[in-house]
Amino acid sequence: MNVERILAAKGAEVVTIQPGARVEEAVALLAEHRIGALVVSEDGASITGIVSERDIVRELATRPDTVLGEPVASIMSSTVRTCTPSDEVDSLMAVMTDQRIRHVPVVDSGRLAGLVSIGDVVKSRIGELERDRHELLEYIGAR
């Protein structure tokens, strides 16, 4: 299975935020959309960085009085691991596990095309295993 199939099932909408937006705006977007990360982008198509709930919590622990008023660019991860729609889910799962990444933007022809979370990857893998199980049970029952 490839990433494109995950996006077909979950949708390709990506919530983005501009680098100059305040961290408190990022918190509001995360809560409003019930998501764990935002792609930081000037134009909604290019990727400047990524900011997650985890990034915000870490910064709140060290500077709780100021971080919410700071720009997202001050706390985002600027090195962003991406994938393409044609990437295999198994290899993406390995990268996410090895590098301890929970969210990977999908880039197609140089433009942001979606966002895949570790939850999306696990859900797709469980679906594959369930289909395999069902097929095996049908095969055994047909004998």
Q: What is the pLDDT of residues 89-102, one digit of tens each?
A: 989 999 999 999 99
Q: What is the pLDDT of residues 53-67, one digit of tens each?
A: 999 999 999 999 999
**Fold assignment, 3-142:** CBS-domain (3.10.580)
Do residues 51 and 95 make contact, with C-beta atoms less than 8 angstroms apart? no
Sequence spans of domains, the chain: 3-142
DSSP 2: B
Q: What is the pLDDT of residues 66-91, one digit of tens each?
A: 999 999 999 999 999 999 999 999 89
Distance of CA 12 to the CA centre of its chain: 11
Question: What are the E-state strand segments in the chain?
Answer: 16-17, 37-40, 49-52, 103-108, 111-117
Q: Annotate 82-96 with DSSP letters as a single string.
A: -B-TTSBHHHHHHHH
